Amino acid sequence: MQQSKHGSAGAARGCCRLRLVDFEGHENHVSHETQGLSDGRLVVRRGKPFKLTLLFHGRTWSLYSQRLELQVYLGNLSQRFPVQFSGDQLNPHSWRATTPPGNQHPEGVTVHVCSPALSPVGQYRLSLHVETPRLRRTYRLGTFVLLCNPWLPDDPVYMPLDVHLQEYVRNDYGMLFTGSHTNVAKRPWSFGQYEPGVLEACLKLLDVSPEHLSDADKDYTSRGDPVYLSRVACAMVNCNDDRGVLEGRWEGGYQAGVKPTDWSGSADILRRWASSGCSPVRYGQCWVFASVLCTVMRVLGIPSRVVTVFNAAHDTDGNTAVEEFYTSTGKKLNLSKDSIWNFHVWVECWMRRLDLSPEFDGWQVVDPTPQETSAGRFRSGPCPVAAIQQRCLLASFDTAFLYASVDADVVRVIVRHGREVGRTVDTDSVGRLICTKSVSSDRPENLTQFYKGGKRLQQANPVGTMSRATMKMKTGLFVKKTFSSNFSDSAGPSCWSLTEDAAGEMAPSLDVSLRVDGGGPLLGQSIRLCVTITNRSSSPRALIAYVDAQMKEYNSNPQESFWKTHQAAHVQPHEVLTLRPAILYSEYEWVLSAEDIVNVAVVVKDMQTSERALAAQEISVNAPEISIQVDGGSSIHMNKGHTAHVAFTNPFISPLSGAVLSVEGSGLLQGQEVVRLAFLEPGRKMEKTVSILATTPGTKLLVATLTHGNGSKVVSRSFHKVSVTAA
């Protein structure tokens, strides 16, 4: 309850004076599903009435003798509207206020205030005008925050099922998926929308955007549209062309900031950005950008989820194809500007697309990772998932680029002495798996069918539906290209030209496939490969198989080879031959760490005909687990101390030098708890006991990390979910 501030437009006599205004915070927050978003201000949702109680001094209050008007302000914009009886005819498309029957009493009145369903999102100021035929008083009542309303059918972000609202709006905890499509790894994330300061940071993000700074009135007016909100927020999560939240880094050191893999929640990132005067937080990569955007959108009231695309293409030239080049011994070359990311993470937001036809309503891709620009800003979307599935590449926004991310062709070329000696076109590997966290579960939900392989539109579509063949012709997939590099394969030239007629298509009589035995390899164990060669011809063949392994980042081409082998083989007509090479732990011990990815390729050459076949596979390496246990279980009470036990046992055949076990948890620990050992011998355990105390409810994460070599190598990283309830 607040005492009002006021200015008078006339004498006090004859006009009741406002004494107190009660924003009925608890009742409104429960009614509007905004509990926990802010302790110090009223947060409500558009299109739904919220309650105010006005108490006056002195004279007996009567709505019949004293006219009340409310006025809302958003920046320089304002709207004034009378307080009316609940039975009056009201315009649902404008602000309105009513007095419910039986809620008047001698000292005051209860007022229900309701905004239109498409009202702009933001922080509003509220004033009260009290008038009689002779006098008028004006009172500044305070501020409130207005958000989108996914519970309201008239709101474009309406989501009908409560179980989905719980998952995609209320839930402050998520599960991200990384690694590879053959070895999916889980990474918990705390969205943290109920953490102190997060709501304020999200509102500031809108207020420092270039759109707002260039024309605040236009920006405020546009904020009623979730398409506009998502485009502004998407661009503001990265700092490439504005005062955005995160600075990305994919190579080099991270000494000037936080390594992207060290983040486990959005709240710390958003608070650091807001408290630093909007200086970018260092550093982010795709899953960090996406998770922070998901937090912002859930705070604003737009249902959102984080989605992982495995084998995501980055098509720089817009031809919906990605070219890859390999030597004749299986080494992948860094010759193409295009790339395939082992995984890429973006956001889907739920909304009706009032700017498009109804078939494009529903989930929309919004990607804040700064890859390409859209209307001059680094962002992508919102793009309807349905437009990607139906290949409607002209639908707004950025559909062609996002379509290529999930469905581009991969053209793999083998080169020797600067000439093409083999080629395959893979139409299946990009977008092999697309998934998100399941509703009410940490398991992945497979979304691939909603992006790929669905029913294609048969009729002409106003936004342009293209077949794969039409896209290839329009984008010039089979055109002559010249490539420059520093590579020399067997004394080949450093600058050379490849054309389609340099070599024929791959011999269809020789097939090769590559996989890893036993799923994803565990760090410390041998990586056992399985190469399968099929001779589809009627002649025996003398072959040589070259296998090459390169470490790579998830979003870039691989580094130098760290392991290679070759093996002669003979295969009879129509025979299937299996080779089982292995990369021993001693051969990769000083190269790979936990969370690293290996590019393995095999080139099989027919010694008589010189025909070649190629297969490639990217492998993510699993880490040994760190044990995290909380006394009394993983459901704890606020403001009550608990103890957590963290332990790691060295599973390797060699000691770990400079071993460091660190524990942190936003909302549970102040800072980082660390224990160090000069050497951790094989089979020995390293332990740390920490005291945790939660001051806010919700889902929190304890994160334990084991490094060695003075922090240069990550051996393991484990997460533990803690549910905090009010005492």
Q: Which residues are catalytic?
A: 286, 344, 367
Calpha distance 241→238 (Å, rounded): 8
Amino acid identity, residue 345? V
Give buried/exposed letters for 178-214 (b at 16+ CB in 10 A, else e). bbbbbbbbebbbbbbbbbebbbbbbbbbbebbbbbee
**For the chain, what's the residue count?**
727
What single string gives the DSSP state of each residue in 453-506? S-PPP-S--TT-B--HHHHHHHHTSS--EEEE-S--SSS--SEEEE-GGGS-PP
Q: Which residues contact 113 (CB under 8 A, 6 or more apart)?
A: 49, 50, 51, 52, 70, 95, 96, 97, 126
DSSP designation for 331: -
Using CA atoms, how far residue 278 sits from 195, 290, 606, in Å, is: 18, 19, 60
Q: Quote the tokens at residue 392.
A: 């409607």
Using CA atoms, how far residue 720 sits from 13, 175, 627, 701, in Å, is: 65, 12, 9, 6
Q: Which residues contact 581 (CB under 8 A, 6 or more apart)?
A: 529, 531, 547, 565, 567
Peptide bond into 370 cis (omega under 30): no
Give buried/exposed letters for 378-414 (b at 16+ CB in 10 A, else e). bbbbbbbbbbbbbbbbebbbbbbbbbbbbbbbbbbbb
Calpha distance 118→223 (Å, rounded): 9
Calpha distance 318→321 (Å, rounded): 8
Q: Which residues contact 209 (CB under 8 A, 6 or more apart)?
A: 219, 232, 235, 236, 242
Q: Quote the tokens at residue 359.
A: 């078939």
Using only the alpha carbons of the chain, give its radius of gyration: 30
Check if the beta carbon of residue 259 is closer than 8 Å to that of residue 282: no
Check if the beta carbon of residue 545 is closer than 8 Å to that of residue 565: no
